[in-house]
Amino acid sequence: MNYKVLGNTGVLVSELCFGTMTFGSEADEAESARLFNRCREAGINFFDCANNYGDGRAEIILGNLIRDCRDEVFITSKVSQRVGKDINALGSSRRHIMWSIDQSLARLKTDRIDLYFIHHFDPLTPMEETLSALDDLVHQGKVLYLGVSNWAAWQIAKALGISGQKGWARFACIEPMYNLVKRQAEVEILPLALSEKLGVIPYSPLGGGLLTGKYSGSEAPAAGRIAEKKQYNLRYSSPRYYETVERFTHYAQELGVKPATLAVSWVMSHPAVSAPIIGARNLAQLEDSLAAADFAMTAEVLQRIGEFSEAPGNATDRLEEEIDASFKLRNR
């Protein structure tokens, strides 16, 4: 396992991050322990969690698992998703953040969370209130670094500007969706991360299972996460995604590598990415993703894979700049 500095923090994390979303739901406590131990054996020291995973059970299980190695692992959690029936049991208000952090710390059985994410953008709460509350958590020592997931580039940039102006702790890491069929992050989010030296831990490198090779490229799956969960069905319902999967799976077979291994390795290869978040319901699923750490990605393979899906246009929509990188310099 190789290790990278996470953004501008100076902290070394494994180049793969294990996501615990299945803990307490698709993976029971015993299976979760097997997954965690296999990750540690492989050299992973980076574990991603959230206060709503398994209705809080994921944090409880992760907290039990890290008791004997707390100072050797780097853990995350998140706030803003609904965690109860009360009308205010969600969002990024100071009230909800301050309540949620103590709940998460208790479940994780730790005195601090290494990296604390705002899970989703909250249109009802002024950004200044959210950022001020997060800054207080850092000063209280309950949180070491701050992150944000599922925000647009303009929202992240605005937050960085506010934090800089106010002298508050700034976001150190972002967690966007990114995989071979979901490449929107390439337009502005990943370039922003490179420019601002933000860590990047993309989720869903396997496209909800779409890129594992177990689905036919010509039809939607009848079972699995995409079929069983509405959000994944909506996210990965486009017919063109299945055309990409068909070509990608055949290419993986030509290379003699598991599609899941190749898909994770492709995400890892982006220069902005610190560590893709891999997940699994069981050990068999985990092994294919772990193998990405040992796959020798070449420039030729990287380019070939990228051709299987449509790359998004550049942010300004000036296509001539995509065709000729020197256009801007020659036509100022």
- Residue 213 maps to which CATH number? 3.20.20.100
* Predicted pLDDT of residue 151: 98
Of all residues in the chain, the percent with pLDDT exceeding 90 is 85
Asked whether the beta carbons of 321 and 327 are under 8 A apart, the reply is yes
| 3-state secondary structure string across 50-119 | CCCHHHHHHHHHHHHHCCCCHHHCEEEEEECCCCCCCCCCCCCCHHHHHHHHHHHHHHHCCCCEEEEEEC
Find the mean pLDDT for residues 177-196.
98
What is the Cα gyration radius of the chain?
A: 20
Contact assessment for residue 183 and residue 311, using Cβ atoms and an 8 Å cutoff: yes
Residue, of 217 and 301, whose pLDDT is higher:
301
The answer to whether residue 221 scores a pLDDT higher than 90 is no
Among 9-18, 111-120, 321-330, where is mean pLDDT lowest?
Answer: 321-330
| Average pLDDT for 309-324 | 80
Is the pLDDT confidence value at 328 over 60?
no
* Chain centroid to CA 331: 38
pTM of the full structure: 0.94
Strand partners, 145: 115
The answer to which of 38-47, 101-110, 207-216, 274-283 has the lowest mean pLDDT is 207-216
C-alpha pair distances (Å), 213 with each of 37, 225, 232, 241, 310: 26, 14, 17, 13, 19
* For residues 43-60, average pLDDT: 98
The count of domains in the chain is 1
pLDDT at 26 over 70: yes
User: What's the average model confidence in pLDDT over 46-68?
Assistant: 98
Question: Does residue 136 have a pLDDT over 70?
Answer: yes
User: What are the start-end ranges of the H helices in the chain?
Assistant: 29-42, 57-65, 94-108, 127-140, 153-166, 189-196, 225-228, 230-235, 239-255, 259-268, 283-290, 299-306, 319-323, 327-330
Q: What percent of the chain has pLDDT over 70?
A: 92
Full domain range(s) for residue 58: 3-330
Active site residue 53: yes
Average pLDDT over residues 96-119: 98
How confident is the model over 94-105, as a mean pLDDT? 98
Question: Which entry of 3, 53, 145, 178 is annotated as an active-site residue?
Answer: 53
Q: What is the per-residue pLDDT for 155?
A: 98
Instruction: Give the tens place of pLDDT for each residue, 278-316.
Output: 999 999 999 999 999 999 999 999 999 999 999 998 898
Quick one: pLDDT band at residue 332, thresholds 50, 70, 90? very low
Q: For the chain, what is the mean pLDDT?
A: 93
Asked whether residue 207 carries a pLDDT value surpassing 60, the answer given is yes
